[in-house]
């Protein structure tokens, strides 16, 4: 068994993403079928919603390379019970979330639109951490935008692998963070084809989509969805944050006005696309 220690603060953003994906790349450097112990003793904090990304990493490492990952449950129970309350890890001591702060960590087959729709309706949109001023119209728009992202994993991302989700409410700061992860091709391949090679890197492909472009218009001769631009507009107008990570491209709406306004390049990219939503109250 090989030990890997996570360290410090693992928050939803560039740094936290790199830390979890550093573990992924560490595992890739070992023979198939290796058993890893993921050590949390040096972790100061981990955002519960990032368990969606961690679950996707563990799933892919196991399915593709036969790696197995375990952790010290005593450490988790003592310091990181959120990983139990949100369902990422299973324990009879934590059968449910008594604090009502988590949105369950789950995964869905790309064909299970009905199951995912129910998850959004009854686990996310009705959560106490969602903005209290959401109208029924806004709720429906948010649901349709997220459903579009889910449906695109099959068509755009070219994958039949599961779609991973999870959320966490932070009452002290009044923010609910929700993470979605697919294991597909990411933004670049289809967008590079749609632009006839004009877009050649992951970050540029994210920016191209954020401008309201859709590869459907170019490759499928049909109108493209506007889920990404609709979400961008909602979070800009409602005290929230939208983050998109695809390939080695990282873009976050809260970097507007900073030196990283146009996005950043990741040191340790994962597969597919990760989207983080910050709902502010």
**Which whole number is the average pLDDT over 129-139?**
94
Mean pLDDT of the chain: 93
- Residue 25: predicted pLDDT: 98
Q: What would the mean pLDDT of 197-216 be, rounded to a whole number?
A: 91
**Per residue, what are the HEC states of the chain?**
CEEEEEEEEECCCHHHHHHHHHHHHHHHCCCCCCEEEEEEEEEEEECHHHHHHHHHHHHHHHHHHCCEEECCHHHHHHHCCHHHHCCCCCCCCCCCCCCCCEEEEEEECCCCHHHHHHHHHHHHCCCCCCCCCCCHHHHHHHHHHHHHHHHHHHHCCCCCCCEEEEEEEECCCCEEEEEEEECCCCCHHHHHHHCCCCCCCHHHHHHHHHCCCCHHHHHCCCCCCCHHHHHHHHHHHCCCEEEEEECCEEEEHHHCCCCCCCCEECCCCCCCEEEEEEEEC
Architecture of domain 2-280: 2-Layer Sandwich (3.30)
- Say if residue 158's pLDDT is above 90: no
Give me the mean pLDDT over the 246-263 stretch: 94
pTM for this entry: 0.95
pLDDT at 224: 55
The arithmetic mean of pLDDT across residues 218-247, rounded, is 83
Domain boundaries, the chain: 2-280
């Amino acid at each position: 068994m090989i030990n890997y220690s996570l360290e410090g603060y693992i928050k939803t953003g560039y740094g936290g993403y790199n830390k979890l994906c550093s573990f992924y790349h560490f595992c890739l450097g070992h023979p198939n079928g290796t058993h890893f112990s993921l050590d949390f003793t040096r972790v100061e904090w981990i955002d519960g919603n990032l368990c969606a990304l961690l679950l996707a990493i563990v799933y892919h490492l196991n399915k593709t390379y036969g790696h197995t990952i375990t952790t010290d449950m005593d450490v988790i129970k003592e310091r990181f019970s959120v990983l139990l309350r949100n369902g990422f890890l299973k324990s009879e001591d934590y059968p449910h979330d008594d604090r009502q702060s988590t949105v369950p960590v789950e995964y869905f087959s790309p064909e299970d639109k009905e199951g995912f729709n129910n998850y959004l309706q009854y686990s996310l949109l009705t959560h106490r951490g969602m903005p209290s001023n959401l109208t029924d119209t806004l709720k429906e728009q948010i649901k349709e935008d997220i459903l579009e992202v889910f449906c695109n994993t099959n068509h755009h991302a070219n994958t039949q692998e599961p779609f991973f989700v999870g959320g966490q409410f932070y009452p002290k700061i009044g923010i609910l963070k929700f993470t979605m992860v697919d294991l597909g091709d990411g933004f670049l391949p289809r967008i590079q084809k749609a632009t006839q090679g004009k877009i050649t890197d992951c970050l540029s492909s994210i920016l191209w989509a954020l401008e309201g472009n859709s590869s459907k218009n170019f490759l499928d001769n049909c109108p493209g969805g506007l889920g990404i631009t609709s979400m961008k507009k909602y979070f800009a107008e409602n005290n929230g944050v939208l983050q998109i990570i695809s390939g080695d491209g990282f873009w976050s709406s809260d970097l507007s006005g900073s030196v990283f306004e146009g996005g950043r390049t990741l040191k340790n990219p994962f597969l597919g696309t990760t989207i983080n939503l910050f709902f502010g109250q």
